[in-house]
Amino acid sequence: MAQMTMIEAIREAHDVAMAADEKVVVYGEDVGYFGGVFRCTAGLQEKYGKSRCFDAPINEAGIVGTAIGMAAYGLKPVIEIQFADYVYPAYDQIVSEAARLRHRSNADFTCPIVIRMPTGGGIFGGQTHSQSPEALFTHVSGLKVVMPSNPRDAKGLLLASIADPDPVIFLEPKRLYNGPFDGHHDKPIVSWKKHALGDVPDGDEEVPLGKAALYREGKDVTVLAYGTMVYVAEAAVEQSGVDAEIIDLRTLMPLDLDAIVSSVEKTGRCVIVHEATRTSGFGAELMSLVQETCFYHLEAPMIRVTGWDTPYPHAQEWEYFPGPARVGEALKKVMEA
């Protein structure tokens, strides 16, 4: 085990995968010489050469399109979109080509690509560097969607994603790159190297896709969260005094429905937390699934705590960001119903 930040864990996963399989190639905007805007690929070009880790033009559709072609020819591209907000020009390539390739070719071709994207807010990035577009991808059949909340899972899930034979959208909450964040922006930053989940296993140890993690046991209410919201939920539980069980979904597609059902059947209540906008967010799908599978166990209406249905603000970031106060209010409300 080694203590790592999420940035270091992601870099380590690249290194392990590239060392094990020469078909793994890494590229994107500033990914090669510069090592990525967040340094997640630092040192890889120097170690593996310019043919396996290289810079791409500022052309997201081109980055994804060439990755699909490489995958069809047997390579395993791991590409970086510099911010999730920049992925929209490549959306057609992802939806119409990458997600469909296995099916439209009757499995003659597959598309083993990983599309990494820093996602979410909390860094004063404003409208174009803070979006959470996960629901746009969970809606598309043929894609897997992953969002780790800590360095240990980041390395293991990325290794599993690279090994997967189909396209994976790998979303990295950038507010968690250097340490856990509980929504209290006015408190000192805590490093992952002082947190238990900063201990990252050595070698090629995968975390399986499609398996949620029980982050905190509780008996009063189930909180479904992922990414940064896992720690916001934890802070809300501590402040509210509600004995909530926190499920870190980790993989949104495929979803670990068994873990969700098991928890909700135990607690009888459910609060769903995500940073993305409310309408048609992934929380709506979670509510529908819980309603369908746990209806006779629910003792109160479910509650969503999400971002607002507005463009992500800069000056009012902490009014938009679903913080511990809003989550705590939801926990108390669902307990009083």
Q: Over the stretch 218-230, which tens digit does the pLDDT of each residue have?
A: 999 999 999 999 9
Taking 90 as the threshold, does the pLDDT of residue 117 lie above it? yes
From residue 120, alpha-carbon distances to 45, 149, 165, 248 in Å are 27, 12, 27, 16
Contact between 138 and 87 (Cβ < 8 Å): no
Question: CA of 282: how far to CAs of 80, 226, 286, 288, 311, in Å?
Answer: 23, 11, 6, 10, 17
Residue whose structure tokens are 């509510």: 287
Distance CA 150, CA 5 (A): 8
Q: pLDDT band at 186, cuts 50/70/90?
A: very high
Backbone angles phi, psi at 21, to 5 degrees: -145, 115
The answer to whether residue 1 scores a pLDDT higher than 90 is no
Question: Which pLDDT does position 99 carry in this prediction?
Answer: 98
Angle between helices 6-20 and 151-163 (to 10 degrees): 30
Mean pLDDT of 75-92: 98
Catalytic residue among 14, 103, 129, 314: 129
pLDDT for position 254: 98
For the segment 269-279, the average pLDDT, to the nearest whole number, is 98
pLDDT digits (tens, 9 = 90+) for 132-166: 999 999 999 999 999 999 999 999 999 999 999 99
User: Residue 337: pLDDT band by 50, 70, 90 thresholds?
Assistant: confident
What pLDDT, in 10s, does the model give residues 36-61?
999 999 999 999 999 999 999 999 99
Asked whether the whole model's pTM tops 0.95, one would answer yes
Give the pLDDT mean for 58-65.
Answer: 97
Share of the chain above pLDDT 70, in %: 100
129 given a catalytic annotation? yes
Residue 81 banded pLDDT, cuts 50, 70, 90? very high
Q: Distance between CA 61 and CA 37 in Å, rounded?
A: 19
Q: In this structure, how many other beta carbons lie within 10 angstroms of the beta carbon of residue 19?
A: 12
Query: Taking residues 80-87, what's their average pLDDT?
Result: 97
Select from 25, 161, 165 the least CA-distant residue to 102: 165
Residue 245 to residue 87: CA distance in whole angstroms? 34
Mean pLDDT throughout 22-48? 97
Q: How confident is the model at residue 90 (pLDDT cuts 50, 70, 90)?
A: very high
* Mean pLDDT to the nearest integer, 257-276: 98
Would you tell me the crossing angle of helices 229-240 and 324-336 to the nearest 10 degrees?
60
| Mean pLDDT within 259-270 | 98
Residue 23's φ and ψ, nearest 5 degrees, are -80, -15
